[in-house]
């Protein structure tokens, strides 16, 4: 209990940064560290098209055309605040993050305090202090001088390390708290058919439901990212799983959830585990010197024709077997682009329907949108069997179905997983920015589901009051599920691998914000 309070206070330090010295600017509840974390900003409801309609099988969508002007106003407001913060010596990343956390409406001084508090926390963590010490530090830091000193230290430290947003830290000291080694083999707490030790865990009190929650992102994020995500998500140990242990394609992902880990059961039939089991017909043309048994991670872009042409040209102009140098080149290209052998000397990228199959989606799930869009949507999706294995424990717990808040829904990997598990979805409130993805989910929903689907376009627009309204209307949520954008974390990103504070990946903080808002609203029921 004590620990819970400490923890809450620490999070308050890190997220909301309500300092004593700023009470002149209208801080809301400064009463200390009592739960819930989330607080109500204002009374005016800022969502539209609320008709209270609750037809079974019906759909609602929050249209945003009438909010366009407001959107523009918000954008210019945001730009103005970013400029002000930059003038004060903060980086654009820091400004963006503060606005993400506190909201665009937040007063400038609140934003400044938010940045300061996160810097304090950084110092605390970089000094490898215990939770208790961190809490004490944060407590102290709001006094004034000490905070200024810590912030100064933090700034100097950052300057010394290059100040990049990529989390570049010297890894020389072995006591680095930020490092989070990936397990080998990457099988999570347990996997079907895996004869290793099964992991049991004890969740921190604050982490337990309701609601249950399930968060996903790429395992190989830049240094320090998973440590930070873990810190926000109640210090729950992530479950790192490479889906190649379950299907024919690799997918190294980290999952943080508060679900039970005992008595899981896989989807049946088990998916094909090797390339040849999945696509027997490719055996015919597969050269013996290409010894891949699994495909690499299915990504959002496919190989251009020039790659496959070069491969064909090199192979046809050399003997059989080709010289080692050619083999090496071709193997490398095939691994990099996930090519399969579809003819003599002919390697080709996967078709969208093959990706659907490997990822555990029904055939033609993404059909109807452009091919490029299908690749993109599939590359950004869950591996259904992996997620379903984790979610399978819900089947026995919710015989009457579940109420789901689905953030960053994409093409509905979580929903498909629940459906394939035979878990009825009474309600899904889905937040997804991509029009094509919403269309894909809607089409699947109409064909397979009888529950209520509510569609929202932008996580940023989902505020406390609207969440509270949904919680009241449906009596709460049983599951909050979602994987926040990995764009700025993924290794494939050549341009903006900016870490958790990147333009898209910082939406993680909205996942965190919304999850806490749901917890808070449900606690007040």
Partner DNA sequence: CTCAGGATGAACCAGCCG
Partner DNA sequence: CGGCTGGTTCATCCTGAG
Catalytic center residues: 486
Antiparallel, parallel or unpaired: β 239-242 and 252-257: antiparallel
Residues 181-210 that bind DNA (CB under 7 A): 181-182, 184
Work out the number of other CB atoms within 10 angstroms of the CB of residue 165: 21
Q: How far is the CB of 207 from DNA (least distance, A)?
A: 21
Element (H, E) at 456: strand 452-456
Selected range binding DNA among 72-80, 231-239, 420-428, 488-496, rule: CB under 7 A:
488-496
Q: Which of 57, 58, 321, 370 binds DNA (CB under 7 A)?
A: 370
Residue 432 in tokens = 């997804």
Element (H, E) at 482: strand 479-483
Q: Which of 30, 49, 128, 492 binds DNA (CB under 7 A)?
A: 492
Distance in angstroms (rounded) separating the CA atoms of residues 40 and 24: 19
Q: Which of 37, 90, 94, 167 binds DNA (CB under 7 A)?
A: 167
Q: Which of 120, 485, 507, 516 binds DNA (CB under 7 A)?
A: 485
Does 230 interact with DNA (rule: CB under 7 A)?
no
Does 483 interact with DNA (rule: CB under 7 A)?
yes
Give the dihedral sign, CA 260/262/263/269. positive
Contact 392, 299 (CB under 8 A): no
Report CA 459 to chain centroid distance, whole Å: 13
Q: What is the DSSP string of 389-443?
A: HHHTTHHHH-TT-EEEEEES-TTTHHHHHHHHTT--EEEEEEE---HHHHHHHHH
Contact 194, 246 (CB under 8 A): no
Q: Which is nearer to DNA, 382 or 477 (CB)?
A: 382
Does 345 interact with DNA (rule: CB under 7 A)?
no
Q: Which of 49, 293, 335, 448 binds DNA (CB under 7 A)?
A: 335
Does 94 interact with DNA (rule: CB under 7 A)?
no
Q: Which of 371, 397, 450, 523 binds DNA (CB under 7 A)?
A: 371
Q: Which of 127, 157, 220, 273 binds DNA (CB under 7 A)?
A: 220
Distance in angstroms (rounded) separating the CA atoms of residues 59 and 71: 24
Residues 243-282 that bind DNA (CB under 7 A): 250-253
**278 to 297: interface string for DNA, x by CB under 7 A:** ------------------xx
Residue 405 in tokens = 């808040």
**378 to 397: interface string for DNA, x by CB under 7 A:** -xx-----------------
Q: Minimal CA–CA distance to 246: which of 351, 390, 419? A: 390
Distance in angstroms (rounded) separating the CA atoms of residues 19 and 142: 6
Does 439 interact with DNA (rule: CB under 7 A)?
no
Q: Which is nearer to DNA, 147 or 374 (CB)?
A: 374
Residue 461 DSSP code: G
Q: Which of 270, 301, 397, 523 binds DNA (CB under 7 A)?
A: 301
Q: Minimal CA–CA distance to 268: which of 424, 412, 384, 365? A: 384
Does 179 interact with DNA (rule: CB under 7 A)?
yes
Coil, helix or strand at residue 348: strand
Q: Which is nearer to DNA, 118 or 484 (CB)?
A: 484
Does 305 interact with DNA (rule: CB under 7 A)?
yes
Antiparallel, parallel or unpaired: β 452-456 and 59-61: parallel
Selected range binding DNA among 71-79, 145-153, 214-222, 281-289, rule: CB under 7 A:
214-222
Residue 427 in tokens = 């309600």
Q: Which is nearer to DNA, 130 or 306 (CB)?
A: 306
Does 332 interact with DNA (rule: CB under 7 A)?
yes
Q: Which of 160, 195, 281, 495 binds DNA (CB under 7 A)?
A: 495
Residue 287 in tokens = 């050269």
Does 135 interact with DNA (rule: CB under 7 A)?
no
Q: Which residues bind DNA (CB under 7 A)?
A: 166-168, 171, 179, 181-182, 184, 216-220, 222-223, 250-253, 296-297, 299-301, 304-307, 331-332, 335-336, 370-373, 379-380, 408, 483-497, 504
């Amino acid at each position: 209990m004590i620990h819970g309070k400490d923890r809450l206070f620490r999070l308050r330090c890190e997220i909301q940064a309500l300092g004593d010295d700023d009470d002149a600017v209208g801080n809301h509840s400064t009463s200390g560290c009592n739960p819930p974390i989330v607080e109500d900003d204002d009374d005016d409801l800022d969502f539209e098209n609320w008709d209270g309609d609750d037809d079974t099988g019906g759909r609602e969508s929050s249209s945003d055309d009438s909010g366009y002007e407001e959107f523009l106003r918000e954008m210019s407001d945001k730009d103005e605040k970013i400029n002000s913060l930059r003038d004060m010596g903060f980086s654009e990343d820091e400004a963006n993050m503060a606005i993400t956390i506190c909201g665009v409406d937040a007063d400038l001084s609140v934003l400044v305090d938010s940045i300061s508090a996160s810097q304090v926390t950084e110092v605390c963590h970089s000094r490898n202090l215990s939770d208790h010490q961190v809490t004490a530090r944060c407590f102290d830091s709001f006094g004034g001088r000490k905070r200024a000193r810590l912030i100064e230290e933090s700034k100097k430290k950052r300057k010394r390390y290059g100040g990049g947003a990529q989390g570049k830290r010297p890894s020389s000291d072995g006591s680095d708290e930020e490092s989070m080694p990936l397990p080998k083999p990457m099988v999570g707490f347990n996997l079907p058919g895996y004869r290793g030790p099964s992991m049991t865990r004890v969740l921190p009190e604050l982490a337990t439901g309701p609601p249950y929650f399930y968060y996903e992102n790429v395992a190989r994020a830049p240094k320090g990212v998973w440590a930070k995500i873990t810190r926000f998500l109640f210090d729950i140990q992530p479950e790192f799983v490479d889906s190649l242990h379950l299907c024919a394609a690799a997918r190294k992902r980290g999952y943080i959830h508060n679900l039970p880990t005992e008595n899981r059961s896989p989807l049946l039939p088990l998916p094909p585990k090797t390339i040849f089991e999945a696509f027997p017909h490719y055996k015919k043309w597969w050269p013996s010197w290409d010894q891949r048994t699994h495909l690499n991670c299915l990504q959002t872009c496919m190989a251009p024709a020039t790659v496959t042409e070069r491969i064909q040209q090199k192979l046809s102009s050399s003997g059989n077997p080709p010289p080692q140098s050619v083999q090496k080149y071709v193997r490398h290209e095939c691994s990099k682009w996930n090519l399969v052998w579809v003819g003599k000397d002919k390697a080709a990228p996967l078709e969208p329907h093959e990706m659907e199959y490997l990822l555990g989606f029904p055939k033609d799930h993404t059909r109807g949108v452009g091919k490029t869009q299908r690749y993109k949507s599939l590359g950004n999706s869950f591996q259904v069997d992996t997620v379903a294995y984790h979610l399978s424990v819900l089947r026995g717990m919710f015989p009457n179905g579940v109420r789901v808040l689905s953030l960053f829904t994409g093409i509905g990997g979580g929903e498909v997983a629940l459906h394939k598990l035979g878990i009825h979805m009474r309600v899904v409130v889905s937040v997804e920015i991509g029009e094509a993805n919403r269309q894909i989910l809607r089409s699947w929903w109409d064909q397979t589901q009888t529950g209520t689907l509510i569609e929202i376009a932008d996580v940023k627009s989902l505020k406390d009051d609207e969440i509270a309204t949904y919680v009241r209307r449906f009596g709460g949520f049983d599951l909050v599920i979602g994987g926040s954008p990995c764009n700025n974390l993924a290794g494939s990103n050549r341009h903006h691998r900016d870490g958790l504070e990147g333009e898209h990946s910082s939406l993680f903080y909205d996942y965190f914000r919304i999850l806490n808002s749901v917890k808070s609203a449900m606690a007040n029921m």
